[in-house]
Amino acid sequence: MFSLAGKKAVITGGGSGIGRAISLLFARQGADVHIIEISEEQAKLVAEEIRACGGNVSLYACNVANQQEVQDTFGNIGPVNIIVNNAGIAHIGKADNTLEKDFDRIVNVNIKGVYNCLNAGIPQLRKSDGGVILNIASVAALVGISERFAYSAAKGAVIAMTLSVAKDYINEGIRCNSVSPARVNSPFVEGFIAKNYPGKENEIFEKLSKSQPIGRMAKPEEIANLVLFLCSDEASFITGCDYPIDGGFTKLNN
């Protein structure tokens, strides 16, 4: 089950964290993996891991916020079967203290970046007679989280784009879903804590871990397992859905 043999998969932000876990799992399941990263250096270690296990992988240095770079990259990749829009950045701030430059930065990567990959990737899915798009959203789009104004807005847009794409391309054999993780123990979260809470890293890590009713953060591999299912043929009847994967965060917190 869940074989991706013969499938060509594009994973943005595939060099670290959740993206790394997805890239490795997809390769183990037989996919021809194409990793898009802001810098090729960030993905080289993942590529080495994949090749060491006999998997196929290609790397592309590309800023997903730059439409021309994205168009050129997908043009070089050619027809694909799976697109995972994982690349994203974080921000702390409320509506009245979020700077315009920071809001624009979040929008450019987390919203426009997804749009750019959809715009360039859907024509390549058509060449394969359909396929799957999986967008990484967040529980921040589903519940109120303090001081995540721009990030929450952007991830809400990702879920809305997911529904729109699922509706528009259902008759072309293209499925589109999203997953909404809570906090994940990854370099993304570690960097976020280090940047915003210097000197309090251990305290904040513990606090964020316990904010999930299950008592810990997710492992990147746990997110990757759900992504694999939704991108596999076993999920062929699923489209237009968002799946919280959150240790009870959205439903069990009082």
Report the CATH fold assignment for 8-181+219-245: Rossmann fold (3.40.50)
Written as tens digits, the pLDDT of the chain (254 aa) is 999 999 999 999 999 999 999 999 999 999 999 999 998 888 999 999 999 999 999 999 999 999 999 999 999 999 999 999 999 999 999 999 999 999 999 999 999 999 999 999 999 999 999 999 999 999 999 999 999 999 999 999 999 999 999 999 999 999 999 999 999 998 878 888 888 889 999 998 999 899 899 999 999 999 999 999 999 999 999 999 999 999 999 999 86
pTM comes to 0.94
- How many helices and strands, by DSSP H and E, does the chain display? 10, 7
Q: In whole angstroms, what is the distance from residue 60 CA to residue 237 CA?
A: 32
Which H, E and C letters describe 38-73, residue by residue? CCCHHHHHHHHHHHHCCCEEEEEECCCCCHHHHHHH
d(CA 116, CA 77): 15
Catalytic annotation, pick one of 115, 151, 169, 243: 151
Is 60 designated active site? no
Q: Parse the chain into domains and list their residue ranges.
A: 8-181+219-245, 183-217
Q: Which two tokens stand for residue 46?
A: 């993942």
Apex 89 CA angle, 96 and 84, nearest 5 = 135
Are 154 and 106 a contacting pair, CB within 8 Å?
A: yes
Query: Around Cβ 178, how many Cβ atoms within 10 Å?
Result: 28
